Amino acid sequence: MMSTVLLAAQIMAATSSSTIVYADVVHPVSSPPIKNGCIVIRDGHIVKVGTAADIKPTGQEKVIRCAVATPGLVDARGTVGLTGQYNIPHDQDMLERSKPIQPELRAIDAFNPRERLVEWVRQFGTTTVHTGHAPGELVSGRTMICKTYGDTINEVVIVPDAMIACTLGESGLKSQDKSPGNRSKSMAMLRQRLIEAQEYARKHAAVTDSDDKDEPEDFPKRNLQLEALASALNGDMPLLIHAHRTHDIMNALRLAKEFDIKIVIDGGSEAYRVMDEIKEAGVPVIVHPQLIRMYGEMENASFTTAAKLADAGIPIAMQTGYESYVPKVRVLVFEAAQAAAHGLGRERALRACTLDSARLLGVDDRVGSLEPGKDADIALWDGDPFEWTTHCVGVIVDGKQVSTVVR
């Protein structure tokens, strides 16, 4: 007769969404690779990672096999979901040009989880994206962090308001007598708006903390721009500053010190020239896409920048970025592979597009590595992910196999 304990175990396995992934090599990222590895998934989360010999299946689980399993990739900066596949006005919500400063714009209000490009990047192993308004305006809007699978925004969102996207340098300047027309005007406008946000927050706090509630006219009129910037001033939301030239990076560091705010450098083509200053400031860098067109303010970009910053002890992450013309959405694993080949190495490159990216974004408690308790977001490969001949043959998001790619 079957024991009560064994019967209960089989009933649990049959009634829960249990899956076992077997792989020739499992890369947990948070720990060394596991040969002949195994990942147990239940109810959308990882419950065990180890060797196949460690796992005792009940026979009721769904079984998936692949050559290599890694965490789902985490894109530290992109515009997918606001940028659409047709590249025509109706699906291009990543940049609003009417004003240079618009921190009140929210990516969550524009993100389309059913956009074909979201599915496309997922098929290359990306399961989490930090996406939103593109560089190109002094303050273009707020970013969000979300999964790449789901029908509605409520299903995919992880962090609805992640960072405030800013641009310092040539790509954020205007022509034809429009502001900002040069770098000093950019800094003056941004500084002035931050000062106004400081005053707005001070008045708001003073009225809120007051015992006298009989004078509602003293309460500051709501201002969505100043509320957003105040969230940066109080540490709730970093400024994501797109900067490539050395002096633009230094302007960003000086602004962070002046207002005692958190910033993240986005791009950083010339970051290798000021590594000591970046490290001293404790500022992470989301390194420009390796395959970016190296012209204009990006003319001094290098394939080795990621490796140099990592060697210097500066936190880095990989991104797909944005350009104002095709390709507007890149493939994260290709970008990481280039960094791996130019000094970063496979292990650090994998970390830079998984766990290190998740840590920089503050979501490493859920994604970025294969560990018990974390979301079961897994990319399945038929070989080394950084080899050009390798394919992503499947993707699991929250324990559900959502992509099975046949090439």
pLDDT tens digits along 167-224: 999 999 998 889 999 999 999 999 999 999 999 999 988 877 666 655 556 677 899 9
- Who wins on pLDDT, 376 or 328? 376
What does the mean pLDDT of the chain come to?
Answer: 93
> What per-residue confidence (pLDDT) applies to 324?
82
Residue 288, strand partner residues? none
> What per-residue confidence (pLDDT) applies to 24?
98
* Overall average pLDDT of the 251-256 stretch: 98
- Residue 326's pLDDT band, with cuts at 50, 70 and 90, is confident
> What per-residue confidence (pLDDT) applies to 88?
87
| Alpha-carbon dihedral sign for residues 280, 163, 160, 92 | negative
Q: For 406, phi and psi rounded to 5 degrees? A: -115, 120
Q: Is 68 helix (H, G, I), strand (E, B) or coil?
A: strand
Residue 298 has pLDDT above 70, yes or no: yes
> What per-residue confidence (pLDDT) applies to 56?
87
Domains of the chain: 4-71+370-404 (2.30.40.10), 73-361 (3.20.20.140)
> What per-residue confidence (pLDDT) applies to 406?
54
Contact 165, 229 (CB under 8 A): no
Contact 71, 55 (CB under 8 A): no
Adjacency order of strands within the sheet including 34-42: 45-51, 34-42, 18-26, 62-71, 378-381, 392-397, 400-404
Q: What is the pLDDT of residues 75-131, one digit of tens each?
A: 999 999 999 998 888 899 999 999 999 999 999 999 999 999 999 999 999 999 999
Contact 117, 83 (CB under 8 A): yes
> What per-residue confidence (pLDDT) applies to 213?
54
* Overall average pLDDT of the 327-340 stretch: 94
> What per-residue confidence (pLDDT) applies to 4?
37
> What per-residue confidence (pLDDT) applies to 216?
58
CA 10/CA 83 separation, integer angstroms: 46
- Who wins on pLDDT, 14 or 43? 43
Residue 145, strand partner residues? 130, 159
* Overall average pLDDT of the 351-357 stretch: 98
Q: What is the pLDDT of residues 127-144, one digit of tens each?
A: 999 999 999 999 999 999
* Overall average pLDDT of the 303-330 stretch: 93
CA 135/CA 158 separation, integer angstroms: 22
* Overall average pLDDT of the 134-160 stretch: 98
> What per-residue confidence (pLDDT) applies to 214?
54
* Residues 6+ positions from 297 with CB-CB distance below 8 Å: 169, 170, 171, 244, 245, 248, 269
CA 241/CA 247 separation, integer angstroms: 13
Q: Is 43 helix (H, G, I), strand (E, B) or coil?
A: coil
Residue 308 has pLDDT above 80, yes or no: yes
* Overall average pLDDT of the 337-364 stretch: 98
Q: What is the pLDDT of residues 42-72, one digit of tens each?
A: 999 999 999 999 888 988 999 999 999 999 9
Contact 109, 344 (CB under 8 A): no
